[in-house]
Structure 1
């Protein structure tokens, strides 16, 4: 049975995104032409008609989504409706009709931005771990840099304009703040590692176009323009069209993306260049304005520069932590066997050299042994290589527990393992290794060759002797331990029962 909360929506045919693109994007250049050459009234009517069509397409796209995936996209569609309602209210108020309050269109516009941000944030994959923290810091650096520019050139002049009523100044200053929020979402999404679906690309493109169109309108307002230019209005329309197409895209059902395995977030050349420019922008802007004889809000730019220094310091510390973590991981990988987690041959050579030197100084015995899983090839052929790998891992865990503290167990190669037993002669080591026979997992057996280092003998010679003892154990019927005599003793070997 299918849970009611996750009932699939209507099937999305491959033609739906293309139809949405045709309905939402093709009229945009037509509007630009009419706006430029056809007069104000036809352009306004066409704008409202196209914006209405985009809102309808967005609603249709949301309804065709599974119910458990609708909420973020429904917020985006609702923002389309709020923007359209605000524009209708603005046009109605412009014609002299009372809409209740002169700020009603502005409040509707700002509500549309708030709902849009809520929908986008619900779609953005939440960052986790070190890579997520790095992406958040990078996004904060880029966002603060853009906020410093918008605050210096747009927000601060608006708030300082005494000719405007206070509430008008506050409302006008909220638009750049909404754009700063969108910039943060864009930066966080783009800088977060991972694959993005086509619907996400369309959505990000729509948000980017919206910010560019808003900045164009701010520049026109500073220049004393009476209203938005063709470029700004066309940008707003294109932004809505891209968002509506994103809602109808078949990959929209995959958003928000489920959490993925963490991947390191390094500083590529392009990423480093973006962060460097962003970090230097407030200070560079302040210096440029000073050279030109303008002192536009130096306190604002100075505070932004200080906060950016703090963010860059945090990002640098994060990178250093990442480097330390990677260095520790590489050190572990260099010392351990990747499959079993035991010491590898390099680590074994280090331990046996140190133990042999200590044994010579202290005059204590030092036993070495080689272990081999019996019929391992047959086990692999019967149960598969994955089961063989599992057997090796389980044997490593079981033998480590059976051998106890003070004994070094290493992966020698293939199904062979090496054991270093300080303070034990060959016979006592063989008794100690009897626990290994009992701990072989999955009902398997093992063969063991053991010997003790002679005075002044190199560890490699003792390992060759242990290897010969191991092969003797194989020939003796397996599942047993053979003790190899030291060179000064009898060359005979004694088999020790399992």
Structure 2
């Protein structure tokens, strides 16, 4: 059936769902996060004793149970086995807290004790879970290498600040020395796995941001505890202990957030180097010479000069790499633009149209939103070329695209697929609105030229090929009907 009708072609809001557009999302994660933070605040402000220790253990047990329940009842949870490991790790941590507080409140020495066995078993589970969360990414090598660079660099100040004080403490027994050093060593192994996920998944998934923030909070709490023990300022019941509870709350919020059901993707390659990544790697590379500079004795001036030279060299190399990186990105942007645009008019080309149309069809099916497509062809374009020359024909096409784009929204797509043939993709646009838009385009055809257009609406079961073919048939109907008109099929 063919018809002509008028409609309002005003802009409509693009309702494209983001990576967190998960059906059935709820706000349970907000209440869980708020409850965890309030428990943390309550623990920190009340005096250390039986009540505080009970609150701490209860909060830890609740975090483990909350994660286990999410694994059991949440549908389409991504990497459920990794979350099972995290739930087990928090269960072990809760057991360690219970033992530690029981010993401490009964006047017994909680370090080293059975509590440390539970605590140290947490780390392997965290490590495997973090590895599993990024296991399926096909471009892992670059992210892992960068994470190892930062991890190895962090090991130098970590050794100087957290491990070396224990090694030089004559009051520690062999078992105390072993257990004390095991925590910062485990943290330094865990750090690259956290950074690997940060470098690997730039999908901005909120659940991952919560999880990574929780893991980083856990590491910071560990390091503060290790330094506080060696320096003598740590006291149970303070902000350091509270930071572990903050970590648990963030991890629980991560698994209960709707975006935990979103499959993460990797959009980086092994050779990609962003500006922020370059700053992180350059800063990490300067940690070792900085430690040398700050810890060298007064009689080792050569070491100091070497450290200063190393820092300057790293800064110069970073400056040089930044210039190369900017040029590489500029060339890549130009190549990307050439691969998807028509060189004469700047409109999209056929290749980009095919990819974009597949995306819009998938989106229309997923969101049950309208999608229309127009096939447009200049009338008597060959005669115009023969009369005014091909240079004038090129100018006509360039002016035509500029004027037609002024009618369209940013979310619409104009593509040139032949000499004078164009396709317009109109997402979130019904048939009447599409006819109004295409009619305005037809009337804005420059240099007193005319065009014929056919419009088709995407229907159930349509393929991209059938969709375009129906619009093409409508355009030919406009041609056969006398040209210079719009036909809706």
Instruction: Report the TM-score, using the length of structure 2 for normalisation.
Output: 0.55
The match for 2:219 is: 211
Within the alignment, does 1:76 sit opposite 2:86 as a pair?
A: yes
* 1:213-228 equivalent positions in 2, closer than 5 A: 213-225=221-233, 227-228=235-236
The match for 1:25 is: 37
The offset of 1:183, in angstroms, is 2.0
The offset of 1:156, in angstroms, is 2.5
The offset of 1:167, in angstroms, is 3.0
The offset of 1:219, in angstroms, is 2.0
* 1:300-339 equivalent positions in 2, closer than 5 A: none
Q: 1:16 to 1:267 in 2, by over 3 A?
A: closer
Question: Which of these residues, 254, 277, 290, is aligned with residue 283 of structure 2?
Answer: 277
CA distance in 1, matches of 2:336, 2:253: 49
The offset of 1:121, in angstroms, is 1.8
Spell out, residue by residue over 1:19-47, the C-alpha distance to the aligned partner (whole angstroms, 9 max, x if none): 3223322211111111xxx2422211221
Within the alignment, does 1:290 sit opposite 2:300 as a pair?
A: no
The offset of 1:323, in angstroms, is 7.0
- Partner of 2:171, secondary structure, is coil
1:23, 1:53 within 8 Å by CA — same for their partners in 2?
no
Within the alignment, does 1:65 sit opposite 2:74 as a pair?
A: yes
1:51, 1:84 within 8 Å by CA — same for their partners in 2?
yes
1:193, 1:265 within 8 Å by CA — same for their partners in 2?
no
Ranked by relative contact order (alpha carbons within 8 Å, sequence separation 6 or more), the top structure is 2
* 1:119-198 equivalent positions in 2, closer than 5 A: 119-124=129-134, 128-129=138-139, 132-192=140-200, 194-198=202-206
The match for 2:58 is: 49
CA distance in 1, matches of 2:127, 2:89: 9
2:60, 2:245 within 8 Å by CA — same for their partners in 1?
yes
CA distance in 1, matches of 2:137, 2:61: 35
2:70, 2:255 within 8 Å by CA — same for their partners in 1?
yes
Instruction: Report the TM-score, using the length of structure 1 for normalisation.
Output: 0.54
Spell out, residue by residue over 1:415-456, the C-alpha distance to the aligned partner (whole angstroms, 9 max, x if none): xxxxxxxxxxxxxxxxxxxxxxxxxxxxxxxxxxxxxxxxxx
The match for 2:125 is: 115
Question: Which of these residues, 238, 250, 254, is aligned with residue 230 of structure 1?
Answer: 238
1:93, 1:102 within 8 Å by CA — same for their partners in 2?
no
The offset of 1:68, in angstroms, is 7.0
The match for 1:471 is: none
The offset of 1:12, in angstroms, is 5.8
1:206, 1:241 within 8 Å by CA — same for their partners in 2?
yes
User: CA-atom RMSD, angstroms?
Assistant: 4.8
- Partner of 1:195, secondary structure, is coil
Question: Based on CA coordinates, which of the two structures has the bigger radius of gyration?
Answer: 1
* 1:410-489 equivalent positions in 2, closer than 5 A: none
Spell out, residue by residue over 1:271-325, the C-alpha distance to the aligned partner (whole angstroms, 9 max, x if none): 4433332211221122122267899xx9xxx99x99xx99x99999999799779
Q: 1:245 to 1:327 in 2, by over 3 A?
A: closer
Equivalent residue pairs, number:
330
The offset of 1:124, in angstroms, is 2.7
Q: 1:104 to 1:278 in 2, by over 3 A?
A: same
1:209, 1:238 within 8 Å by CA — same for their partners in 2?
yes
Spell out, residue by residue over 1:185-235, the C-alpha distance to the aligned partner (whole angstroms, 9 max, x if none): 232222336212111011111112112211211221122246446111000
- Partner of 1:164, secondary structure, is coil
